[in-house]
């Protein structure tokens, strides 16, 4: 049974998800919460194998639906092996990417059929309590990501792909009240974390 709090962080490459998660986790831990930090793809041993393959710029797929199924397999193992056990222990789970990434990248970016993707997402059977969309323009996000070195298979996509992904994310935020947009281009890392903590705090006080 779910007892903890499930919080997901979404957004483009280089949008500041990892930076925010680390700071939010430190703050919540200091306040006495038990926190589980995890990510997709790659939150389990098999998920790490799937991640390596999916992000490798040399990986080639003949059918783009295989990509959807690889993310779905990663997610099912992650939910069963990491997320649900942590929630049942009452932990705050901070997850770097979840089902909204599939909607943004596989429907928005790749143009896959939304019913097919909805089926893949439905297999998860788990909806976040709160989601933070760390919003940044693709130009700025990729500039930040590029500073780390070689670009991965998704980062190497053209700018129109990245703009479709961002548009899809903003559309999700418009229709889902659990999604809170944080402008990481205008706000520095400290202000972004303050905004996230304000929302988490209100949510915890109200529940």
Applying CB under 6 A, does 101 fall inside the site for ligand T5A? yes
Applying CB under 6 A, does 189 fall inside the site for ligand T5A? yes
* Least Å from the CB of residue 118 to ligand T5A: 13
Q: Which helix (H) or strand (E) holds 18?
A: helix 17-30
Which residues on adjacent β-strands are paired with residue 182?
134
Q: Which stretch binds ligand T5A (CB under 6 A): 56-64, 79-87, 166-174, 183-191?
A: 183-191
Applying CB under 6 A, does 196 fall inside the site for ligand T5A? no
Closer to ligand T5A by CB, 87 or 168: give it: 168
d(CA 38, CA 20): 13
- Structure tokens, 25: 């986790």
Q: Which stretch binds ligand T5A (CB under 6 A): 16-24, 111-119, 166-174, 199-207?
A: 16-24
- Structure tokens, 85: 């056990």
d(CA 190, CA 142): 21
Report the site for ligand T5A in 25-44 (rule: CB under 6 A).
Answer: 39-41
DSSP states of 53-64: HHH-TT---SST
Angle subtended by helix axes 45-55 and 65-78, to nearest 10 = 160
What does the binding site for ligand T5A look like in residue numbers (CB under 6 A)?
Answer: 11, 13-19, 39-41, 71, 97, 101-102, 105-106, 134, 144-145, 154, 184, 187-189, 192
């Amino acid at each position: 049974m779910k007892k903890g709090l499930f919080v997901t962080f979404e957004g483009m490459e280089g949008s500041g998800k990892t930076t925010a998660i680390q700071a939010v986790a430190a703050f919540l831990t200091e306040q006495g919460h038990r926190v589980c930090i995890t990510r997709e793809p790659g939150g389990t041993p098999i998920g790490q194998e799937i991640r390596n393959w999916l992000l490798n710029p040399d990986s080639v797929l003949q059918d783009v639906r295989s990509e959807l199924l690889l993310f779905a397999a990663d997610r099912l193992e992650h939910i069963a092996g990491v997320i649900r056990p942590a929630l049942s222990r009452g932990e705050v789970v901070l997850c770097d990417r979840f089902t909204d990434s599939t909607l943004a990248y596989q429907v928005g970016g790749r143009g896959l059929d939304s019913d097919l993707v909805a089926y893949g997402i439905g297999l998860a059977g788990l909806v976040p309590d709160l989601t933070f969309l760390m919003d940044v323009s693709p130009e700025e996000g990729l500039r930040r990501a590029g500073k780390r070195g070689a670009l991965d298979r998704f980062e190497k996509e053209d700018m129109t792909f990245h703009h479709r992904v961002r548009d899809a994310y903003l559309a999700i935020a418009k229709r889902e009240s659990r999604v809170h947009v944080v402008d990481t281009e205008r706000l520095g890392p400290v202000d972004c974390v303050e905004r996230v903590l304000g929302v988490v705090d209100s949510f915890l006080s109200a529940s």
